[in-house]
Structure 1
Amino acid sequence: MADTKKIGDLDVFPLCLGGNVFGWTAGRERSFEILDAYAGAGGDFVDTADSYMASAPGNSGGESETIIGEWMESRGNRDALVVATKVGRHPGRPGLSAPNIRAAADDSLRRLRTDRIDLYYTHFDAPDVPVEEIMTALDELVAAGKVREIAVSNIEPDRLQASLEFSEREGTARYVAIQPHYNLVSRDTYEGPRRDLAERHGLAAVPYYGLASGFLTGKYRPGAEVDSARAGRAGKHLETDRGRGVLAALDIVAEEQDAPVATVALAWLAAQPTVAAPIASARTLAQLPPLIEIARTTLTDDQLKRLTEASA
């Protein structure tokens, strides 16, 4: 059994399964298979959002939550899971006004077929809404038992600091986690003021794009064609010296560890200050084992240094 990580009062598996492919590149049946395999390997931490996957043809938003809710109901395993979802980007529930937060939470609870959300993120900040309104609305959800812990994703450091200060001053529920864009080829999106705030206030980081849209799996190589909806986004890293240098370093460490490149990339992320559990998604069963393996992978100091220097 893998050691669990702490996010507020939540104990979680060290790899969070991303639900952003459910209802998009993974249909309902395949999503169930991936969720079954993840849970079967000891995984218990699933991340989604009310807006997933509104952008896919024929979708309207909430499809990922619906699939996860149907899966939990069919398996009867809700109490064994930590479910995270987000508010603010659903096409029908945009923004972070207090009425919208309340209504969106109820919508998510219905789609997830549950009575509580374990970890509730503000998906993207809404600078036009005072932090006092946002934090008070989230506090009301916690007091009502609809949400266990609250967290934040995409936000500027000054707004994050103001939110944390309001919670401390007023005694409301406070953010326990931050979900930043963070990986070996995107470090300044988190390292710096955001991470400094997380360290100072004891926030756990749950990074998204942990594999840089698949680039850090190692499948993107010069001349290689990859059949993926994210190929354009991931392939651009091959055009930079940094991207190619990171791949070369990953290859060396992966050989030393006798582990897949994706495992090594996530293991580096998991070893960084404040990080509790990186998020990674799988659209096929074959993509899942290298993700799960980070629960059993520890890089040496020299290996961490090699990767850190290559990605600087």
Structure 2
Amino acid sequence: MKKVIIGNTDLEVAPINLGGNVFGWTLNEKESFKILDAFVAEGFNFIDTADMYSYWVDGKGGGQSETILGKWMKERGNRDKIIMATKVGGETGLHPVDTSKKHILEGVDKSLQRLQTDYIDLYYTHFDDEKTPVEETLEAYDEIIRAGKVRYIAASNLSPERLKASFEASEKNNLPRYQALQPHYNLVERTNYEMKYAPLAEKYNLTVFPYWALAAGFLTGKYRSEDDLNKSVRGGGAKKYLNEKGMAVIAALDEIAEKHRTSQATVSLAWLLAQPHIGAPIASATNEKQLQTLFDAPKLQLDTEDMQMLNNASK
């Protein structure tokens, strides 16, 4: 399987990023281990989590996902084979969005403890408080990189203006620079990324890992009416796509999936993989059937007709 090099780093990842938000939420520890074992057995190595996952289970600050991942890596003895990405700065039951130096220095140690490791491969600014100077955030990252706690940094949910300011501060002050971007991007959420962030990914050589790559499950094709929304705990997130554009995208996915004898989810991920700067779409799975749709995506080569159909439907 062809690996992707992240930005200007030595991190090589397979082209699907397994979303860790389900670990400790919709999957318990035993179920999570089963999914993780199957994922790496297929040759994939890139896992995405955050310090705040899955805080909504108990409202007390999160950490369940990191804890499960830490136990799994410890039991399997495979830390050196995994590229682990986690995040800091998100709101939890205990604190608001915070990208201050104090919070980052505290947060990284807590994540390392839960993950049972002494380093994080890719550390994201999860959300931006827009009050902390970007220099302060980057200085915190400089400190933890120098300490060997983090290898590289990345950004998610920063405004284009703050992202650009971060790069300017990195260059001016010789501070670490973001190597990757994690935006909201998929077939039914194109405009914001393509208009505001894609030019920055090009300018700063950012490798892009889109979250909600399957639009809260809508792009799997299982939500076609409001009656379908109770099919899963995440169904409510797909409601906003039950409109003319959303149905046009589903119709295109249906046709292309049938043509290639694959699933709508696989086609959706393959479309993302065909876009400039996309390294590995982030998608979660709660069973082996869902995992297979992720495994199939890098193998699917969409032709010009497929791409045109999807692009037209999703405009």
What is the CA–CA distance in structure 1 between the aligned matches of 2:65 and 2:15, rounded to whole Å? 21
Classify the secondary structure of the residue corresponding to 1:83: strand
Classify the secondary structure of the residue corresponding to 2:191: coil
The question of 1:162 aligning with 2:161 is answered no
Q: What's the offset of the Cα at 1:266?
A: 0.5
What is the CA–CA distance in structure 1 between the aligned matches of 2:266 and 2:159, rounded to whole Å? 30
Pick aligned residue for 1:174 from 174, 177, 189: 177
Q: What's the offset of the Cα at 1:295?
A: 2.1
Pick aligned residue for 1:97 from 100, 106, 115: 100
What is the CA–CA distance in structure 1 between the aligned matches of 2:237 and 2:13, rounded to whole Å? 30
How many residues in Structure 1 have an aligned counterpart in Structure 2? 310
Q: Which residue of 2 aligns with 1:236?
A: 240
Q: Which residue of 1 aligns with 2:191?
A: 188
Classify the secondary structure of the residue corresponding to 1:192: helix
Q: Which residue of 2 aligns with 1:143?
A: 146
- Partners of 1:220 and 1:226 within 8 A in 2: no
Q: Which residue of 1 aligns with 2:54?
A: 53
Classify the secondary structure of the residue corresponding to 2:24: coil
Classify the secondary structure of the residue corresponding to 1:176: strand
What is the CA–CA distance in structure 2 between the aligned matches of 1:91 and 1:307, rounded to whole Å? 39
**Length-normalised TM-score, structure 1:** 0.96
What is the CA–CA distance in structure 1 between the aligned matches of 2:94 and 2:240, rounded to whole Å? 33
1:224 to 1:61, Cα distance in 2 relative to 1, 3 A:
closer
Q: Which residue of 1 aligns with 2:21?
A: 20
Q: What's the offset of the Cα at 1:93?
A: 5.3
Aligned AA for 1:237? Y
Pick aligned residue for 1:309 from 309, 312, 315: 312
The question of 1:87 aligning with 2:77 is answered no
Q: What's the offset of the Cα at 1:227?
A: 2.2
What is the CA–CA distance in structure 1 between the aligned matches of 2:172 and 2:229, rounded to whole Å? 54
Once the two structures are superposed, the pairs formed by residues 1-312 of structure 1 within 5 Å of their partners are: 2-8=1-7, 9=9, 10-57=11-58, 60-89=61-90, 90-92=92-94, 94=96, 95-222=98-225, 224=228, 226-238=230-242, 240-312=243-315
CA-to-aligned-CA distance 1:82-130 (integer Å, 9 cap, x gap): 0000001244454011011011000000000001000000000111100
Aligned AA for 1:7? I
Q: What's the offset of the Cα at 1:32?
A: 0.5
- Partners of 1:93 and 1:100 within 8 A in 2: no
**Length-normalised TM-score, structure 2:** 0.95
Q: What's the offset of the Cα at 1:285?
A: 2.4
